[in-house]
Amino acid sequence: MIKRWPKRREFLAYYLLLKYAKAKKVRQNGDDGCINAGEAIDVLRVFTGSKKLAISLLRQLVKRGFLARRASLIYCPRDIAELLDEALVYYLAGRLRRRGVKAVVEGTSNVLLLDKNSCDDGVAEILAKIGLRVQCVDIQ
């Protein structure tokens, strides 16, 4: 989950690793798009200028959820659409709660749970039209 919007450096470093992983996947047909820590540090070293900053930035990207740890020292960049969808669902839930609507995001499935009373207002229909998964339940 993205708790805060990434800084420019973090986002561009993530995007650089994503592009590198996709290019690597194209070059090696059987590859799953993951990169090892050494490759990631080498790529980020070009971006940051030093190995120490590259390691720190790699740790931040893993901690913030931009990179998924597949195995020890193997990282897979998450799809950008998946990240933005997740951020959108959490943001909308927060905005709805500020307006007095009971809204909760369910676990890792990014399903927005709305109170049954709120579903009558048409909020669920609009959110479903834009492709978000919405369920109307009794929220206590």
Q: Is residue 1 part of a domain?
A: no
Q: Is residue 114 located within the same domain as residue 90?
A: yes
What are the residues whose beta carbons fall under 8 Å from the beta carbon of 6, sequence distance 6 or more?
Answer: 14, 64, 66
Q: Is residue 13 located within the same domain as residue 42?
A: yes
10-34 burial: b if 16+ Cβ within 10 Å, else e:
bbebbebbbebbeebeeeeeeeebb
Last residue of a domain, one of 60, 78, 96: 78
Domain total of the chain: 2
Q: Is residue 46 part of a domain?
A: yes
Q: Is residue 53 located within the same domain as residue 114?
A: no
Which pair of structure tokens corresponds to residue 131?
Answer: 């492709």
Residue ranges making up the domain that contains 125? 82-137
Q: Is residue 51 located within the same domain as residue 93?
A: no
For residue 30, pLDDT over 70 is answered with no
For residue 109, pLDDT over 80 is answered with no
Q: How confident is the model at residue 107 (pLDDT cuts 50, 70, 90)?
A: confident
Q: Is residue 12 located within the same domain as residue 73?
A: yes
Which pair of structure tokens corresponds to residue 101?
Answer: 């609507």
Please state which of the ranges 32-36, 61-65, 104-108 shows the lowest mean pLDDT: 104-108
Prediction pTM value:
0.79
